[in-house]
Amino acid sequence: MSNKIIIANFKMNLSSKEEAIDLCQYYQQKDKELPNVDFIAAPDFLWLEDVVKLGVATSSQDCFFEDSGAFTGEISPMILKNLGVQYCIIGHSERRRLGDTDEIINKKIKAVVKNGLIPILCVGETLEQKQSGQKEEVLKNQITKALDNIPPSTLYSLVVAYEPVWAIGTGLAEDPEEAEKTMEFILNLTKQIITEAEIKIIYGGSVDAVNIGNFVSKNIIQGALVGGSSLKKEEFAKILEIANSLNK
């Protein structure tokens, strides 16, 4: 069985490099004792290089869809790759809310895979969409558009993060059985589009040390994308421990 992946998405919550390094070193140390789980850090762009230097697997929280040129303020996927970054989160609902359309997300995925980074594609429905019975339609739309026309030879590995928008930062995680069903739907659909790559599907949205076990004990759920709890040392270390112990 392959290792579960637990990603710490610090978002824009830390105020200094020292804090980010301190958390990453703590989780790295913990992860070294845990053979069945892989820790990935998604710190602020500004500290990616320092976290890479620690020897921690890293993800950027976003990137631009061009490698270089007159794009003031954007982050190049080529530079991320050259820094030693391995993953890139694309289509997080917090980016979609700020204007990332399905078309932009598709371009970003293409740029990321062209540079040999592994995309972590985030999908998820809002509460309104869930309540009006549109969940599967919304997810299908997000996935088919994000993965449209990706040359199979460029994409060897893909992570899909199912993050219900209403579960992010609210303390209201999705019911694990319901998440499992939704994630089966997502995985089947993704496999029909991306036939040759290794695909992992992970859950995100109010994951903590109390509920992590209910998610990662499901075979289909290959890990978690963790926001708030990744800022709390003991809580996140516990999440790593539980994910490790349930993956034997």
In the block, residue with structure tokens 């892989």:
38
**147 vs 207 by CB, closer to ligand 13P:** 207
CB of 131 to ligand 13P, least distance (A): 19
Annotated catalytic, 163? yes
The least CB distance from residue 182 to ligand 13P, in Å, is: 16
CB 215 within 8 A of CB 179: yes
Q: Is the dihedral of CA 89, 92, 96, 99 positive or negative?
A: negative
CB of residue 226 vs ligand 13P: minimum separation in angstroms? 5
Q: Report how far apart the first and last C-alpha atoms of the chain are (Å, whole number).
A: 8
- How far is C-alpha 17 from the chain's CA centre? 21
Catalytic residue among 94, 125, 163, 180: 163
Nearer to ligand 13P, 148 or 241 (CB): 241
Closest to ligand 13P by CB, 7 vs 150, is 7
Residue at shortest CB range from ligand 13P: 227
Whether 198 is catalytic is: no
Q: How far apart are CA 13 and CA 229, in angstroms?
A: 12
Residues of the shown chain interacting with ligand 13P in the complex, contacts defined by CB under 6 A: 9, 92, 163, 168-169, 204-207, 225-229
**Smallest distance, ligand 13P to C-beta of residue 135, A:** 18
Give the C-alpha distances (Å, rounded to integers) separating 121 from 135, 158, 162, 203.
17, 8, 8, 11
Q: Which residues are catalytic, by number?
A: 92, 163
